[in-house]
Structure 1
Amino acid sequence: MTTTNSNEVDHTTNMLKDKHVEYIINLDKKEKSFEYWVTEHLRMNGLYWGLTALNLMNSIDKMNKQELIDWLLSCQKPNGGFGGNTHHDDHLLSTLSAIQILVQFDSLDKLDIDSVVNYIVKLQQEDGSFIGDQYGEVDTRFSFVAILALSLLGHLDKINQDKAVEFINKCKNFDGGYGSIPGAESHAGQIYTCVGALAILNRLDTIDIDNLGWWLCERQLPNGGLNGRPEKSSDVCYSWWVVSSLSTIDRLDWIDNDKLKTYILKCQDNETGGVADKPGDMPDVFHTFFGIAGLSLMGYFDLEHIDPVYALPTKLLDKLNINLPWNKKSKSFAANK
């Protein structure tokens, strides 16, 4: 595989690694663009997506570590949670991103961990679900985010794990998939969060694995891409949501990995770098991360291996001594390297 900045390279067969690195490190220099300000509230999530993509491409050293950590800590609120940007309210989603960023910078010691843990624990409800913030929205995404964050901080024992599993199982549908709340339709994004939460809590036994695996593999379309639910078009972000879930339940070989790889590559921007949701669309950091993460998880190109549950490079989780039993089941990475 060859990486180059030349526009003459066939981006349908090559990963434009150098261009993607350049695209990501230049994102914060576009302060006069509409896109920069309309996504201001997602800055913490955006930093996680971009930083992790750089990490997978072995280019994290191109970011100013101390400057980013200082900004990140300025987003923490008195209650321990983090906002999406300096002047935004705290939320579980941005709190997890802050933790994932600090893990990648080997800087969890910068946190008052007890304060962050207490913030997360207080968001669990009596039925085992989690709300995302003070405004009370319940979603299986928030269950996963809370469980993942507490696992990274080493404090899973502070929540009612049995109740958390019970709520997630109430969100399981007849097709083996999971929705955002009980009774909601199955969606690949929600499946990722539910499967991931159950994996961390060591309760993959509650999943109807073959039924779920069948539903997930049916998300692959003739163009090689994946969709999030029936009758929808393909989108690069599902290269993560679907592939990570299949990997965790050891069914990644139920889809055509090569066809998906080709689809992701076609979504690269041959001029600016970055990855779009669909071929020919404008790239963004969200789809850039999930496209690269999907390629990493399937074992293509010279990328760091990402864990399908924690969405962080496996080497970092090894340093934290986090047990990853589902990763032992993933055969595709070793086969494709």
Structure 2
Amino acid sequence: MGELATEKHVRYILSVEKRKDDFQSVVMEHLRMNGAYWGLTALDILGKLNTVDVDEVVSWVMSCQHESGGFAGNVGHDPHILYTLSAVQVLALFDKLDVLDVDKDLKSGLTISTARHDRGLYFLSDEASSRFSYIAILCLSLLHQLDKINVEKAVNFIVSCKNMDGGFGCTPGGESHSGQIFCCVGALALTGSLHHIDKDLLGWWLCERQVKSGGLNGRPEKLPDVCYSWWVLSSLIMIDRVHWINKEKLIKFILDCQDTENGGISDRPDDAVDVYHTYFGIAGLSLLEYPSLKAIDPAYALPVDVVNRIRLGKRHAI
């Protein structure tokens, strides 16, 4: 089956941060905050978060904060709720959430400019989406501010995205997709609302995502992709149906996607590696309880010890 090339993956992740001028870095500049979350969380799961300079990371994250309170994907870019979540998650990894002005961040768009209380929807540019619902719910949960929204209406919107096959779409009537299912199941888990799910029906749909190679795909008739080792597995774990897939075959698929010479993990064997799939491959192995990896929480998408620390923390005053 092979082994996880831990040290090489650590070197690869650290090298991504140092590259500034190559093609991949330039085209990904606008979402560098996401890349920081993927890379740093992967390092933490590997037990190597101490290889980075905490003060340097926190300083850069805060330099991406917009005057409105939200965070951009990089310095000089516009704020976005997705990058705001990644910024909060990175700060949580280092136990630095206290550097945030929560009152300012709430005004920035977590509950006012991205939440419509009358409909329980989260949106960006007037786009209702279960994805943005999950992002806002998770961000507010990390900040102990979930009570600042109408949770019941938010849950009702998530439930309205449920389909006859047990899955969920991006919007009501949208096609069931593993990524959107994760967003909806995660949002329902964070709000204590998993009872709205037909767990057997959804579990069947999700376990059918495993193909002959052992990998998982996002929807029927698609190729497997390492990233679905997170989207599908986390959902199966949250609904207690993860035993319906072949874990050994999935582990082998993820390990086969490694670059064992230079580090990093790709979407499929022999493809080019990137930090996105490196994170989701390592996170998937964590969910599969691969030896020596820290456990990750399937709803919070952060290591369990980080989540426990946040849960035990005091509420941020507003």
From 140, 144, 155, the equivalent of 1:165 is: 155
State how far apart, in whole Å, the 1-side matches of 2:309 and 2:18 are: 33
Q: Does 1:105 align with 2:94?
A: yes
Could you tell me which amino acid in structure 1 is paired with residue 157 of structure 2?
F
Distance 2:196 2:25 in 1: 42
CA distance in 1, matches of 2:62, 2:309: 23
The corresponding residue for 1:239 is 229
Structure 1: gaps (5+ residues)? 1-11, 324-337
Q: Does 1:276 align with 2:266?
A: yes
**What secondary structure is seen at the aligned counterpart in 1 of 2:21?**
coil
Give, in angstroms, the shift of residue 322 of structure 1: 6.2
The one of 43, 46, 50 equivalent to 2:35 is 46
In the alignment, the residues of structure 2 paired with residue 312 and residue 229 of structure 1 have an alpha-carbon distance, to the nearest angstrom, of 25
1:19 maps to which of 8, 30, 35:
8
Query: So what's the TM-score if we normalise by structure 1?
Result: 0.90
Q: 2:82 aligns with which of 64, 80, 93?
A: 93
* CA drift at 1:32: 2.5
Opposite residue 290 of structure 2, the aligned amino acid is Y
Query: Does the 8 Å contact 1:220/1:227 carry over to 2?
Result: yes
Map of 1:1-337 to 2, 5 A cutoff? Answer: 12-118=1-107, 119-122=109-112, 123-125=114-116, 126-132=118-124, 135-321=125-311
Displacement after TM superposition at 1:84 (Å) = 0.6
Supply the distance in 2 between the matched residues of 1:136 and 1:96 (Cα, whole angstroms). Answer: 19
Deviation digits for residues 76-100 of structure 1 (CA, Å, limit 9, x no counterpart)? 1111111111111111110000000
Partner of 1:106, secondary structure, is coil
Return the alpha-carbon distance in structure 1 between the equivalents of residues 162 and 264 of structure 2. 35
CA displacement at 1:192 relative to structure 2? 0.3
What residue in structure 1 maps to residue 316 of structure 2? none
Gaps of 5+ in 2: 314-318
1:283-311 superposed Cα distances (whole Å, 9 cap, x missing partner): 10000000000000110120000000101
Task: Flag the 1:112–1:100 CA change in 2: closer, same or farther, 3 A.
Answer: same
Q: Does the CA contact (< 8 Å) of 1:15 and 1:301 recur in 2?
A: no
- Counterpart of 2:123, as a letter, is I
The code of the aligned residue for 1:277 comes to: D
Equivalent position amino acid for 2:115 in 1: Q
RMSD across aligned C-alpha pairs, in angstroms?
A: 1.1
CA distance in 2, matches of 1:86, 1:31: 13
Q: Secondary structure at the match of 1:26?
A: helix
Deviations 1:151-177 (A, max 9, x none): 010010000101101111110000000
Check conservation: 1:58, 1:303, Cα contact below 8 A: yes
Question: Secondary structure of the residue that 2:311 maps to in structure 1?
Answer: coil
Q: CA deviation at 1:117?
A: 2.1
| Secondary structure, counterpart of 2:82 in structure 1 | helix
Task: Name the count of aligned residue pairs.
Answer: 310
Shift of 1:321: 2.1
Please state how far the C-alpha of 1:114 moved relative to its aligned partner.
1.2
Distance in 1, Cα, partners of 2:310 & 2:217 = 34
CA distance in structure 2 between the partners assigned to 1:73 and 1:165 by the alignment: 31
User: What percent of counterpart residues are identical?
Assistant: 53
